[in-house]
């Protein structure tokens, strides 16, 4: 399994729009990172119930890059801890 990122150069688009009143599409690149079996296991969504006879699983809502500092969006929760919003 791979984790994919679409990385965009938003700066050029903003500058062209601001200074030339011209919108140009973002230049994008795609990067893939191969995941280890342990990482795939950590990302596996858990079964949370059933609906109309079908199993229901957790959903991945956001992915972000952590540079080692406490991120406000994680509310300082330790890795793999379960939180309720």
- Tell me phi and psi for residue 52, to 5 degrees: 50, 40
Q: Is residue 82 part of a domain?
A: no
Q: pLDDT tens digits, residue range 42-70? A: 999 999 999 999 999 999 998 888 887 65
Residue 30 lies in a domain: yes
Q: What is the pLDDT of residues 7-31, one digit of tens each?
A: 999 999 999 999 999 999 989 999 9
Residue 21 within a domain: yes
DSSP symbols for 21-50: ----PPEEEEEEEEPPHHHHHHHPPPEEEE
**Domain assignment of residue 12, yes or no:** yes
Model's pTM, two decimal places?
0.59
Number of domains in the chain: 1
- Alpha-carbon span 5 to 31, nearest angstrom: 5
Residues of the domain holding 24: 2-64
Residue 79 lies in a domain: no
Residue 35 lies in a domain: yes
């Amino acid at each position: 399994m791979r984790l994919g990122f679409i990385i965009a150069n938003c700066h050029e688009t903003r500058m062209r729009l601001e200074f030339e009143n011209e919108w140009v599409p973002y230049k994008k690149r795609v990067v893939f990172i191969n995941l280890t079996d342990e990482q795939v296991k950590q990302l596996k969504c858990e079964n949370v119930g059933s609906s109309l006879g079908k199993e229901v699983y957790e959903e991945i809502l956001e992915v972000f890059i952590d540079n080692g500092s406490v991120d406000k969006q994680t509310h300082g929760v330790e890795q793999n801890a379960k939180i309720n919003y």
